[in-house]
Structure 1
Amino acid sequence: MIKNFKWLLLVSLTFVACSSDDETVVNPDSSDGLPLTAGLADFSKYVALGDSFAAGFSDNALFIAGQQNSYPSILSQQFALVGGGEFVIPFMNDNIGGFSLGGTQIPQFGPRLYLAPGNVPTPVAGTSSTDITTHLTGPFNNFGIPGAKVVTLDLAGYGSSAGNPYFARIASSPMATVVDDAVATNPTFFSLWIGGNDVLGYATSGGVSTSPITPPATFDLAYNGLITKLTAGGRKGVIANLPYVNALPYFTTVPYNPVPLDAGTASLLNSGYTTYNNGLLYAQSLGYLTAAEVAQRTISFSASSTNRVVIVDEYLTDLTAVGIPSYRQATSEDLIILPARSFIGTTVGGNPLQVNGVSVPLADNWVLSKREIDEVKIATDAYNTTIQNAATDHSDQIALVDAKTIMASLSTVGIVQNGYTMTSAYVTGNTFSLDGVHPSSKGYALIANKFLEAINEKFGSNLKGVNLGQYQILFPPVL
C-alpha cells in the first residue's frame, strides 16, 4: 500500500510539473517572452515631436504610405499592445506627395520619387491633391514637421502664412508653437528627435546655403526649453542624439574619383591645366603659397578609371588678385553630394571640351569640403552634448537613443535584424530612400525598434518591436 502511494505521488507530481510547463505564457510580442508590460511608462497618450524623420518623409516627399510607416506610427502600434491610445496623424491627401496650389504642383514641394527602369530616381506622375492652403483640425499626435529646427519647434508664428506649410496646416492658431500644441493634448509620453536640420541645410548645399549652422549656444538654450516643457509634471519620454552627415548616402554615394580617362584625354587635360599649375609655382616664388599648398592645388590626370574631380575650394589661399582661381582636385576627405552623380561628366552648352568636374571645376555647392565637414562635425558634437546632458539631468524621465552610433554602424559593419542586413548604401542598403537622406519604410522600422530598445531598458517595458520583413524598401510608381 505504501509502495503504491509513493508511485501515485510521483505520478501526481509529474502531472503537476507538466501542467505548469504547459500553462506558462510565452508572449510572442514581448522581448523576453513574458506577459507584456509598459513598465514604468504610460503610453496611453503618446505625442511625437521632430522634423521630417518623425513625419515619415521619404523618397523626397511626404505622402500617406510614408506617414503610415514613420517611426512614431510604428511605435504607437507597439504602445497599443500595452495600453497605448489612438495615434492621430495629419495625413497628406494622397501618395503622390508634396503640395499643390490651385491644382498645380509646387516645385519645391514636389512629388515623391520612384526607381524607374535604368535605376533612375524619377518623380511619380500626377499632381498632389494636398492644397497648401488647406487647414486640418486636430488634435493630432504626430508633430513631426519637415524642415523643423530646434528653435522652430518653439517659435510663435511658425505656422503662419510665411512659416512652415506642414505646420501651418495643423497649427491650432497662426501664432501657435509646435511644442505648445503638442503639450496641449495632455500627453503621457513623448518622443523628441530634433537637430538634424540645424546642420543639414548647410551640408546638403555644399556649405553655401543661406540656412547656416545653428550656433551651439542657441541650440542648447532652445533644446533645454523644449525638454522643460515636455517633462513638466514628471512626464516621461524618449529622445535621440544626432549622427554625422557622412552616415547618410546623400554624402557618400558619389566617389571623389569617378572620372575614367584614356591616355590621350588625360594628356589633353594636363595641357589645359599647365597655365594654372605654373601659376601656383609662380605664387610660391612670391611667397604667397607654401610648397604643401602648391602640391595640394596642383591638378594632374592619368590614364585611369579613378581620376579625381576638380573642385572649387573657398578655403584655399585667395589668389584672385594675381589671377589664380581656387581650384584643386577632391580627396577622400571631401564629400560629393548625391545630385552630382548626374552632373559630373555633363558638358557646358554641349561643348565636349567643357566637361563638368573635369575641365570645368565643380562649384562649391556640389561638394562638402573637409573644412566644411569639420564645421558640421563640431556643431553636431556640441548638439549631442546638450542632448546627453538633458537625458542625464532627467534620468528618471528620459530614455536616450544613441542614433549617432546606430547610423555609424549602418555606414560601416551594418546591422542585421530579422534576416536583413541594413546598411547606408544607396538603394541596395535597405535603410534609406531614394533621396539619400530619409529612411525607407524598412529603415523607419529599424529606427522604431531601436527606440523601443532604449525605452525597454529605461522604463522596464518589454515590447519586442516589429519584423523588418513586413516593410518595403522602395515604393512602386503607383500606390
Structure 2
Amino acid sequence: MKNIKYILPLLVISAFVACNDIEDVDLEAETEVAVEVPELTKGSVDFSTYVSLGNSLTAGFSDNALFKASQENSLPNILAKKFAMLGGGTFTQPLMNDNIGGLVLGGNLVINPQGDTLFMPRLVTTGGAPKDLADVIGPITPTTDFVLNNPTGPFNNIGVPGARSFHMIFQGYGNIVNFPAAANPYFIRMTGETPNASMLELAMAQNPTFFTLWAGNNDVLGYATSGGDGSSPITDKATFDFSISTLITSLTSGEAKGVVANIPYVTDIPHFTTVAYNALDPNDEENGADLVAQIPTLNMVYGALNQIFEVLDPSRVITFSTTEANGVVIYDETLPDLSAQITGVLSVSDTFSLFVQSLGLPESSVPLVATLMGNAYGQARQANENDLLVLPSSSIIGEVNNFSYQALLGFNLPPNLAAQFSVEGVSLPLIDKWVLLPSEQEEIRIATDDFNATIKAATDAAGLAFVDANALLTQLATTGIESGNLNLTSSLVTGGAFSLDGVHLTSRGYAMAANEFMKAIDVTYGTNFEASGNLVNIEDYPTNYSPALQ
C-alpha cells in the first residue's frame, strides 16, 4: 500500500477550438501528478521499550531550567511519539511540577555546590536580552521539591542535568544522603525505592529494546562554562573511556539497538560567542558616554603601567579609544607574572608619586599603591579576538566588584578611589572564570576530539546508529541549518536553535536534533522516517516560552 501526495501542478489544454482560431485555446485548467510515498516501516528495530540515557540535552533542559513544557518537547519525547507509530510503548518522563523551573528542598531554592544556576528558575525574553523570570513577572515560588513530591517511575527518559559520563554508572548518585556532595537532585527524583541504583541500572531494569545515548557533554562543558578556572576540571580520558565502554556494553547486552550522539565543540555555542571581547564601546547608546568620560583617567592610570609593558612585553600595553570598541581588561594566567617588576619600578618613580598625590593620597602611600597595582596588573592584558567571554560576563562588565571595593577600603583608600579601581573589565581585570583563553580553548578541543573518538569507536564496534552532533552544531554556528521555511543559527535569542542560556537547545532545536536521530536510525536499521515523510516539522515547535507560562 502506498501513500499518495499530489505535489506537482501541470497545465493542460482545455475548452474547444472555434473557427480553427488557436487564440481561442484555454490554457488555464490545472491538474496534479501523483508522487508515491512509501508507508512508514520499522526496518530491523523493535521500539516497544525505548529508554533514553543522557544529561540535560536528553532531559529537555532549556532556558537555563528544566520545566514541564520543555520536558514535553524534549528530544526523546519527540522521538517516542514517532516510535509509537511503529509499535513503541508508553514513554514516561519525570515531569517537574510547574513551568517555573528550579528545585526546592524544604521550601528553599537549591543552588548546587559549584554555585551556578543549574537548579534555578527559567530565563525569559520580552524581545531583548534574556532576563530572570522573577524580574519580568515579580516574585515566583518553584514547587518542585525533590524530596517531598517526586513522581513515580520507572522512567523512560533518564536524562539528568549536570550528569557526566561517569555519573551514569555511579551508584548513589540519586541518594539523598549523598546530597549535596555526591548526589544530583534531578536524579534523586527518579530513584524512588532504589536510591542507590545508577542511571544505567534504572535503564537496564526496563529491559530496553531500543535506546538513545547522548553522553559526555558535561565532561568538558563544566570546565568551559567556568572559564577554565580549575573549579570543574575536564574528565580524565581513562575514566571517560571506561564509562562509555560500560554504558554501551551494558545497553546492548540484551541485543537492544540504539543510536549514540557525540559531543559538540562547546566553543561553537552562543554561551561563548555572544559577548564581544571588545565590549567596551564608546558608541554604545546606553553606556558609551560614561565610558568616554572615564577614558582620559584610564589612559593616565594605564600609562604608568605601559611604560613598563613596553620594555618587558609590548603585547600587554593597555589603551582606550574614545571612538573604537575597546577590549576588556583580563587576567591571563599564561603570562609571566610581572607583579614584582611593576611594584619595584612604580615605587621609585617620581612621575608615579606625583600621579598618586594627584589622586588625593599622601606621598607616603606610594609604596602601597605600587604594590596594589603590581598585584592587580602583573598578569593583565586587553582581550583580543582570540579570547572568548562567557555569557554571564555581560552582567558584570563595567560593574564595581564589591570584594575588590571592600579590600581597597581596608587599605584606607577613599571610597571613590576604591570604586574607581574595582570596575570589572575596565580598571579591574576580569578573573579566569569569565574568559576562555586560547590555551583553554585548545584543551577543550583536544579533549572533545579524544572523547568523540572513543564514542565513535564504541558505537561502530557495537553496530549502533551514530549522530554527529559535533558537525551539526558547527553547521549551526557557521552557515546555519535550513528546514522548511526556517534557517536555524546559533545566534542567541534570534537564531531559533539555542535557548536563552546559550548552551541548551530550544524546543525547535530539539526537534531539529530529533530529525537527525531519525535519519541516523534510517541509515543503520532500515527504517524510513525521512523517505516516508515522517520527520517532524520543526516549525511546529516554539523557540521561547511566554513569561506568563506557569
Is the shorter-chain TM-score for this pair beyond 0.5, marking a shared fold?
yes
Work out the percentage of aligned pairs sharing the same amino acid: 47
Residue of structure 1 in register with 2:185 after alignment = 165
Distance in structure 1 (CA, Å) of the matches to 2:215 and 2:249? 15
Q: Give 1:433's match in structure 2, choosing from 486, 499, 502.
A: 499
Tell me if structure 1 keeps the 8 A contact 2:123–2:130.
Answer: no
Distance in structure 1 (CA, Å) of the matches to 2:232 and 2:292? 43
Distance 1:270 1:32, change over 3 A: farther
Residue of structure 2 in register with 1:114 after alignment = 124
Instruction: Report the AA paired with residue 392 of structure 2.
Output: P
Aligned positions, number: 443
Residues 460-475 of structure 1 correspond to what in structure 2 (within 5 A)? Answer: 460-463=526-529, 464-475=534-545
Q: Give 1:127's match in structure 2, choosing from 137, 141, 153.
A: 141
Distance in structure 2 (CA, Å) of the matches to 1:266 and 1:339? 25
Distance in structure 2 (CA, Å) of the matches to 1:104 and 1:233? 42
Residues 300-339 of structure 1 correspond to what in structure 2 (within 5 A)? Answer: 300-322=319-341, 323=343, 324=374, 325-339=378-392
- Post-superposition Cα deviations, 1:260-311, rounded to whole Å, max 9, x if no partner, equal 23777444322211222222345x3xxxxxxxxx132221222333211110
Distance in structure 1 (CA, Å) of the matches to 2:209 and 2:274? 41
- Residue 341 (1) aligns with residue 388 (2): no
Normalised to the residue count of structure 2, the TM-score between the two structures is 0.77
Secondary structure, counterpart of 2:299 in structure 1: helix
Residue of structure 1 in register with 2:516 after alignment = 450
Distance 1:316 1:32, change over 3 A: farther
Residue of structure 2 in register with 1:8 after alignment = none
Instruction: Report the AA paired with residue 399 of structure 1.
Output: A
How far did 1:33 drift?
2.1
- Post-superposition Cα deviations, 1:116-153, rounded to whole Å, max 9, x if no partner, equal 46544222442111112134331110000011000000
Secondary structure, counterpart of 1:331 in structure 2: coil
Distance 1:179 1:128, change over 3 A: same
How far did 1:353 drift?
6.2
Secondary structure, counterpart of 1:362 in structure 2: coil
Q: Give 1:67's match in structure 2, choosing from 68, 71, 74.
A: 71
Instruction: Report the AA paired with residue 298 of structure 1.
Output: V
Secondary structure, counterpart of 1:25 in structure 2: strand
Residue of structure 1 in register with 2:297 after alignment = 268
How far did 1:187 drift?
0.7
Residue of structure 1 in register with 2:449 after alignment = 381
Tell me if structure 2 keeps the 8 A contact 1:40–1:461.
Answer: yes
Residue of structure 1 in register with 2:161 after alignment = 146
Distance in structure 1 (CA, Å) of the matches to 2:481 and 2:451? 25
Distance 1:86 1:264, change over 3 A: closer
Distance in structure 2 (CA, Å) of the matches to 1:190 and 1:118? 38
Instruction: Report the AA paired with residue 268 of structure 1.
Output: T
Secondary structure, counterpart of 1:391 in structure 2: helix
Residue of structure 2 in register with 1:358 after alignment = 426
- Post-superposition Cα deviations, 1:367-421, rounded to whole Å, max 9, x if no partner, equal 11111111111110100000110122122xx100000100000000000102111
Q: Give 1:296's match in structure 2, choosing from 286, 302, 315.
A: 315
Tell me if structure 2 keeps the 8 A contact 1:100–1:127.
Answer: no
RMSD: 2.0
Tell me if structure 2 keeps the 8 A contact 1:449–1:466.
Answer: yes
- Post-superposition Cα deviations, 1:47-106, rounded to whole Å, max 9, x if no partner, equal 000000100011111110010001000000111111111100011111111111233333
Tell me if structure 1 keeps the 8 A contact 2:207–2:254.
Answer: no
Distance 1:320 1:454, change over 3 A: same
How far did 1:25 drift?
2.5
Residue of structure 1 in register with 2:3 after alignment = 25
Tell me if structure 1 keeps the 8 A contact 2:41–2:528.
Answer: yes
How far did 1:210 drift?
2.1
- Residue 246 (1) aligns with residue 267 (2): yes
- Residue 392 (1) aligns with residue 486 (2): no
Q: Give 1:420's match in structure 2, choosing from 459, 473, 486.
A: 486
Tell me if structure 2 keeps the 8 A contact 1:104–1:127.
Answer: no
How far did 1:320 drift?
3.2
How far did 1:354 drift?
4.5
Tell me if structure 2 keeps the 8 A contact 1:97–1:112.
Answer: yes
Distance 1:24 1:183, change over 3 A: closer
Distance in structure 2 (CA, Å) of the matches to 1:263 and 1:155? 54
Tell me if structure 2 keeps the 8 A contact 1:51–1:149.
Answer: yes
Distance in structure 1 (CA, Å) of the matches to 2:2 and 2:437? 59
Q: Give 1:221's match in structure 2, choosing from 233, 242, 254.
A: 242
Runs of 4+ in 1 over 4 A off after TM superposition: 262-265
Residue of structure 1 in register with 2:21 after alignment = none
How far did 1:219 drift?
0.7
Distance in structure 1 (CA, Å) of the matches to 2:388 and 2:132? 23
Distance 1:343 1:407, change over 3 A: same
Tell me if structure 1 keeps the 8 A contact 2:2–2:37.
Answer: no
Q: Structure 2: 5+ residue runs without aligned partners?
A: 7-34, 112-116, 283-290, 344-373, 406-415
Structure showing greater radius of gyration is 2
How far did 1:234 drift?
2.1
How far did 1:451 drift?
0.8
Residue of structure 2 in register with 1:289 after alignment = none
Instruction: Report the AA paired with residue 462 of structure 2.
Output: H
